[in-house]
Structure 1
Amino acid sequence: MPTPPPGPWPYLLDEARAYPSPHNSQPIVVRVLDAGRAELLYDLERGLPAENFGIPFGQVCAGVYVESLATVAAPHGWSVTAELRDEGLDFDADAHHQPLGTVELTRTAITPQAQADLAAFRRRRTSRRPYRSLPVDPAVLAEAGAIAAAAGHDFGHTDRRELVDRIVRINQETLFDDLRNDAVHAEILAWLRTSDRAAEATRDGLSARTLLLPGPLLGFAMRHRGMWDLPLAGPLLRRIYLNTMRGVRELGWLTGPFASPLDHVEAGRVFLRIWLAFTRAGVYLHPFGTVITNPRSHAAFTDAAGIDAQGADTEADGEADGERMAWMLFRYGHSAEPPRALRRELSEMLLDRDGVTPWDR
């Protein structure tokens, strides 16, 4: 049996692996250096290179992971300092794992806020269930706006029925558009888990259970993408897919610096803080990631929401500085408790100094 990592790493990393990631791909791996330091790396085989923003959102995912680690460490009396590289991911690199930077633990006081954040992190999950037509408390939206503003980002939101319906339709059409892209279609298929057995075997990916769709139908429809355009089958499939979008009353988006790798990392940290603020208030989120990564859909969304091409809210400040972008879109609201997506074991997320998991030796 391999020796476990030193210091507090075993229980911190074990809890942090519940972090959310695109397609539940779980690409972040860790090499523990000593009791207080660890190196973060990105597993290139778990990235999404076919997506238009595959590289930036790989780094957003790194930011989400760092914030997740900081969230689980604080109630145990540890603060996390991250020194990440300001370099983009290279999906064509020969190396399997690409270094992201290091994190360091230092002692800190335990606060009630830290304990509340950990409780929210443990409850947090994506809800694709139908949402109830119940408005979210404006105080929750104000807190989200304050969190975004503290990091130089803007939190936009709407409950205007016409605009909500228009953006939901854009999200719907994005799936059909992406299925026509051979590379993106192949990538989606690689991450689909159409049965509980398949999901349990890999403990990653997009399971039919969390997507709230019948596994056999999901697998058949995704493999035979031409069906979505057929006169009879197409409308039926679209109706089944849209059934989970019932009750969407409000949408939110984030606009801010999104020009450099460190911008992307900070965006990920901001997003998780906002997600936890919603979770503390009993509000669920469902990111519409493909609307951002699909250029046609992103343009349609920003046009509908009154956001200019670079991302600055035209109603808020009139013009963009060329480095800001609307980089996140999500629905939020109240729903029944959704199923929890599975996570890989911690042993699969650790590397030794030779670049392999100690359990593989």
Structure 2
Amino acid sequence: MTTSMGDVWPGIIEDVRLYPSPHNSQPIKLRALNDTTAEVYYDLDLGLPAESFGIPFGHVCAGVFLHALAVVAAGHGFRTIEALDHSDLDFDAAERLHVLGTVTLESQHQDAEARAGHADFLARRTSRRPYDNTLVDPSTVEEAARIAASAGFRFRTTSDARIVQDLVRINQETLFDDLQNDAVYGEIMHWLRFSKSEAAERQDGLSAETMLMPGGILRFAMKHRGLWQLPIVGPAIRGVYLRTMRGVRQLGWLEGPFAAPADYIEAGRTFLRLWLHFTRAGVYLHPFGTVITNPGSHDLFVRALGITEGDGDMAWMLFRFGHSKTPPLAHRRPAARMLLPATEDA
């Protein structure tokens, strides 16, 4: 049985599949209910349950997708109307497709801002390249803070060289710490793509090319994680990783409500709004997700910046941002692999 999404959906799905997701796992799926309404699912088999915040960041990913869908739809002349289910993800559930809700498309005027937002989304990339050691224009940072505040979050930054260096080091050490956790290590290995051909064939995951690591070295280092603890080999591997972090002048983070699925989804929307704002300004960013999800690193992060958490409030995103050369383009699965077969009722 083939999925029919009328004349409206094909172009939208072709574009929205470029949304960013943790480990480039692309867990969001769609099923057409009719020509203008689709049910949205989170594929639990494509989630990251080994992380301590695997469930919250599943919903953050959903929020990123929903905002991406709204931006892309606007670029095609539609607005999205959502009816969401805010139930918790359960990675042990027998039913592997978790219903997030439905989205309906409604025609609207396609204005210049909608077209510009669509173009920003298509241009957006993660840059793990070295940055050029320049500060982002203050007006760009101020607008990012306004965008976050309009959604009830706080966007803050630091360009203090010592703090930036310390947090870059914490991010690097978090990777090595996570590799000692067998479940997290297995998850990372599942999503790593060590060659261009493997990345092109699988069309998902973390490719060595986008991580700016030689595939052979990365494969050897990851398959022999015990070597990372040795006096000479360990620092050498760390040095290869840190070379991609040269020129980082600023870090940004987001704080605010982060206690329930509705919070997580709104957090994801807000993060993508900021990302697209930076894209329009010619600024790249690179999330330091493991610093947030690793409990020890998260504690070091909040103490380094004097962040107060509690009562459902959390610093839930940290990233470097700045200027770099154009990064490699990560592969995405074809649109057809986002689509689920229509039901008999549909």
Correspondence for 1:48:
48
Q: After the TM superposition, which of the residue ranges 103-112 and 212-221 deviates more from structure 2? A: 103-112
CA distance in 1, matches of 2:118, 2:84: 23
Contact 1:7 1:36 in 2 (8 A): no
Correspondence for 2:141:
141
Task: For residue 111 of structure 1, report the CA deviation from its aligned partner.
Answer: 2.2
Cα pair distance change 1:108/1:82, threshold 3 Å: same
Aligned length, in residue pairs: 344
SS of residue matched to 2:244: helix
Name the TM-score, length of structure 2 as normaliser: 0.97
Correspondence for 2:106:
106
Percent of aligned pairs sharing the same letter:
57
Residue ranges of structure 1 left out of the alignment (5+ in a row): 311-321, 356-361
- State whether structure 2 residue 334 is matched by structure 1 residue 338: no
CA distance in 2, matches of 1:201, 1:119: 27
Correspondence for 1:358:
none
Contact 2:164 2:249 in 1 (8 A): yes
CA distance in 2, matches of 1:326, 1:158: 14
- State whether structure 2 residue 247 is matched by structure 1 residue 260: no
Task: For residue 309 of structure 1, report the CA deviation from its aligned partner.
Answer: 3.4
Q: Which amino acid aligns with 1:180?
A: Q
- State whether structure 2 residue 327 is matched by structure 1 residue 323: no
Task: For residue 176 of structure 1, report the CA deviation from its aligned partner.
Answer: 0.8
Correspondence for 2:241:
241
CA distance in 2, matches of 1:203, 1:330: 25
Task: For residue 149 of structure 1, report the CA deviation from its aligned partner.
Answer: 0.3
Correspondence for 2:205:
205
- State whether structure 2 residue 286 is matched by structure 1 residue 297: no
Q: Which amino acid aligns with 2:31?
A: R
1:121-160 residue pairs with structure 2 within 5 A? Answer: 121-160=121-160
SS of residue matched to 1:210: coil
Task: For residue 32 of structure 1, report the CA deviation from its aligned partner.
Answer: 1.1
SS of residue matched to 1:163: helix
Contact 2:3 2:339 in 1 (8 A): no
Task: For residue 4 of structure 1, report the CA deviation from its aligned partner.
Answer: 4.0
Correspondence for 2:225:
225
Contact 2:172 2:242 in 1 (8 A): yes
Contact 1:74 1:114 in 2 (8 A): yes
SS of residue matched to 2:128: coil
Correspondence for 1:13:
13
Contact 2:3 2:340 in 1 (8 A): no
CA distance in 1, matches of 2:81, 2:144: 23
Contact 1:132 1:333 in 2 (8 A): yes
SS of residue matched to 1:140: helix
Correspondence for 2:196:
196
CA distance in 1, matches of 2:167, 2:112: 38
Task: For residue 308 of structure 1, report the CA deviation from its aligned partner.
Answer: 1.6
Describe the superposition over 1:320-360 as per-residue Cα deviations: whole angstroms up to 9, x where unpaired. xx0111000000000000001000011111002359xxxxx
Contact 1:158 1:250 in 2 (8 A): yes
Contact 1:41 1:99 in 2 (8 A): yes
Correspondence for 2:116:
116
Q: CA RMSD in A?
A: 1.2
Correspondence for 2:28:
28
Q: Which amino acid aligns with 1:352?
A: P
Residue ranges of structure 2 left out of the alignment (5+ in a row): none
Q: Which amino acid aligns with 1:341?
A: A
Contact 1:84 1:262 in 2 (8 A): no
Name the TM-score, length of structure 1 as normaliser: 0.93
Task: For residue 35 of structure 1, report the CA deviation from its aligned partner.
Answer: 1.6
Describe the superposition over 1:165-215 as per-residue Cα deviations: whole angstroms up to 9, x where unpaired. 111111011001100101000000000000111111110000000000000
SS of residue matched to 2:105: strand
CA distance in 1, matches of 2:328, 2:175: 22
CA distance in 2, matches of 1:265, 1:7: 29
SS of residue matched to 1:253: strand
Task: For residue 81 of structure 1, report the CA deviation from its aligned partner.
Answer: 1.8
Contact 2:62 2:268 in 1 (8 A): yes
Q: Which amino acid aligns with 1:214?
A: P
CA distance in 1, matches of 2:133, 2:170: 20
